[in-house]
A and B are shown apart, each in its own frame.
Chain A
Amino acid sequence: EPEVTQTPSHQVTQMGQEVILRCVPISNHLYFYWYRQILGQKVEFLVSFYNNEISEKSEIFDDQFSVERPDGSNFTLKIRSTKLEDSAMYFCASSEARTVEETQYFGPGTRLLVL
């Protein structure tokens, strides 16, 4: 069964450093998403992406965040200058279409720890 993959599984960084989280969505999917989950809290939507542009972003997704699809397979989330409160699990998801009944498939996540 095809699956979404994410790298790295864990990342430790110093406050103020840039991090890039990588995702490989399912190959025939066209819609991509990033979510995050702070330890013990809800899964929160960050951004959705389609046709090489952001479809929607949440208030969490400020100027420190950016997303990119640099090639035909990868989808990245960049945090330019990490803050302590960016420590969380970051999940990438993808879906084949964007309809109310379309399932989103999640990756295993990247655990980011900002020191």
Chain B
Amino acid sequence: LAKTTQPISMDSYEGQEVNITCSHNNIATNDYITWYQQFPSQGPRFIIQGYKTKVTNEVASLFIPADRKSSTLSLPRVSLSDTAVYYCLVEVDSSYKLIFGSGTRLLVRP
């Protein structure tokens, strides 16, 4: 099973770019890399998903190197409201259940 490793926590300041890297050394050929965001007492919210290279949407970018053993979520110009837990997920089996790790707790300071 693919397992993800990401930093437990990160601190940043408003207006900065934040990059959260996740390693998934055992990622399988069919696996996609998905990032979710969770605010306290709320359900996880999909941010971005990719398979390889770079994906960008209105909230984030996802960089995936050629070997796909890691990925980096990039949040441009964070604000206080980006304070949340960010989860890197890799689909691991045919049931498509999401397996959440501990995530990265991002704290954005004024």
Contact = CB atoms under 8 A, between A and B. Distances in A.
Interface of A: 4, 31, 33, 35, 42-45, 48, 55-56, 58, 89, 91, 93, 95, 98-109, 111
Nearest to B31: A100
Contact of B97 (A42, A56, A89): A56
Contacts of A43: 38, 44, 87, 98, 100
Given A43-B38, A91-B43, A91-B44, A104 B102 contact: no
A103 B34 contact: yes
Contact of A45 (B34, B49, B87, B99): B99
Given A42-B102, A100-B32, A108 B43 contact: yes
Interface of A is mostly: strand
A104 B41 contact: no
A45 B30 contact: no
A104 B31 contact: no
Contact of A93 (B34, B43, B49, B95): B43
A108 B41 CA distance: 8
B65 interface: no
A45 B98 CA distance: 7
Contacts of B45: 106
